[in-house]
Amino acid sequence: VEILVEMVDNQAKANIHSAESRKFIAPLGLTVFVWIFLMNFMDMLPVDGLPVLWQVVTGDSHAYLRVVPTADLSTTLGLAFAVLLLRFWYSVKIKGAGGWAHELVSAPFGTSKNPIFALILAVVNVLMQIIEYVANTVSHGMRLFGNMYAGELVFMLIALMGGAAALSLSGVLLPVGHVIAGTIWTLFHILVITLQAFIFMMLALIYLGQAHNAH
């Protein structure tokens, strides 16, 4: 726990230069990392475990249950959108509404003393800023979703190997392959779920750090 807290604190100091902001953002980063890691780690549970339990609880033999929250776009894009709202909040808090508005119309291509050119550049700058915010947010959520969704599918495909043995006499070795492939993928996937939680946290810190910096 101490190593984890120190790691997040160091990353927060590297990206957020305001000590006042770090009082909120550093604990937030730690919460995001642990929360996403635990949601990702649900992929380690048996594929049929929670769905069968859900069917018992609801009494519906056809009850539908997706176990891994981060393998659903609703979760990952929701988290990414929350980071976007925080970026807006800190942009206004640090730079003021006027300062942030000026940044939106003057970055990245600057402005001009000529009123016509200044208006054209302002429109282009605003469009570029919108594209940047949208692209950052969508990629932030899609990256986590894509990796976890793919991992979930691989676990399901491996699980089918055991079930396929019942369909033919030649498939008697499939359960053995199921155990071997499932073990290998589980060990590899532990690295994936940890890395994806770390990447999401780091991007959140980087984006919030950018909200503190002037263009």
Distances (CA, A) of 72 to 46, 144, 149: 18, 10, 7
| 66, two tokens | 């997706």
Helix (H, G, I), strand (E, B) or coil at 107: coil
DSSP letters spanning 139-204: HHHHHHHHHHHHHHHHHHHHHHHHHHGGG-GGGTTHHHHHHHHHHHHHHHHHHHHHHHHHHHHHHH
Write out the catalytic residue numbers: 139, 143, 147
Output the CA torsion sign for 84, 86, 89, 94: negative
Q: Max Cα separation, the chain?
A: 81
* 79, burial (CB in 10 Å: exposed 0-12, middle 13-18, buried 19+): buried
Residue 12 CA to residue 7 CA, distance in Å, equals 9
